[in-house]
């Protein structure tokens, strides 16, 4: 979606461009209005706007996913076993990726936007994250000294022992869809 929005901007908000690409110019304009509104709010509260130029796709997408971790750190699940199930960190619910999920693999750790209850528990709108980011970006929530014992704590402890991979090491960003 971000790529679509950036292309819309590069084409000077052209409604014909949107139409020719089977996109809603109205929805894209609304996204631009939301962005402008967020900028005004940040200015009003004297919050610095930090924006990065798109250069290296691996670093760019890693930064976006890290920003998502900052907002969705309570909506994390990690893979449990080989059956494709996940365990939510917050309440230890066994869930699966929703069938509409567009990820081509089952990453070890994900953040999710929706918890869907049907005949089975699903998480939807997910992206993969690194467990090190959870520990770095939400240290109060993922404080292992007070974290309940269990598989999630052990998985986070294992992540602490692994060397931190930089965005340049994350070649998956070039090959995979990040958000389902």
pTM here?
0.76
pLDDT at residue 166 in the model: 54
Strand partners, 111: 76, 127
Q: Are strands 76-80 and 85-88 parallel, antiparallel or unpaired?
A: antiparallel
Q: Report the chain's terminal Cα–Cα distance, integer Å.
A: 11
For the beta carbon of residue 117, count every other beta carbon within 10 angstroms: 9
- Within 8 A by CB and 6+ apart from 77, the residues are 86, 87, 88, 89, 95, 109, 110, 111, 112, 123, 126
Alpha-carbon distances, residue 151 vs 3, 53, 132 (angstroms)? 37, 39, 16
Task: Give pLDDT tens digits for 80-121.
Answer: 877 889 999 988 899 999 999 888 899 999 999 999 999 999
Average pLDDT over residues 6-24: 95
Task: Give dist(CA 10, CA 103) in Å, integer.
Answer: 28
Average pLDDT over residues 128-133: 96
Task: Give pLDDT tens digits for 38-91.
Answer: 999 999 999 998 877 777 778 888 999 999 999 999 999 999 877 889 999 988
């Amino acid at each position: 979606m971000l790529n679509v929005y950036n292309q819309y901007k590069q084409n000077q908000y052209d409604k014909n461009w949107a139409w020719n690409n089977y996109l809603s110019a109205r929805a894209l304009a609304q996204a631009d209005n939301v962005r402008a509104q967020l900028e005004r709010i940040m200015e009003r509260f004297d919050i610095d706007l930090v924006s990065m130029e798109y250069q290296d796709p691996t670093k760019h997408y890693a930064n976006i996913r890290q920003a998502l971790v900052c907002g969705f750190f309570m909506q994390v699940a990690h893979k449990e076993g080989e059956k494709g199930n996940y365990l939510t960190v917050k309440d230890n619910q066994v869930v699966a990726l929703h069938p509409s999920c567009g990820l081509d693999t089952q990453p070890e750790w994900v953040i999710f936007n929706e918890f869907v209850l049907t005949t089975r528990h699903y998480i939807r709108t997910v992206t993969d994250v690194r467990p090190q980011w959870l520990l770095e970006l939400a240290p109060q929530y993922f404080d292992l000294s007070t974290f309940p014992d269990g598989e999630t704590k052990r998985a986070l402890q294992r992540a602490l022992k692994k060397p931190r991979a930089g965005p340049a090491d994350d070649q998956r960003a070039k090959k995979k869809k990040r958000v389902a």
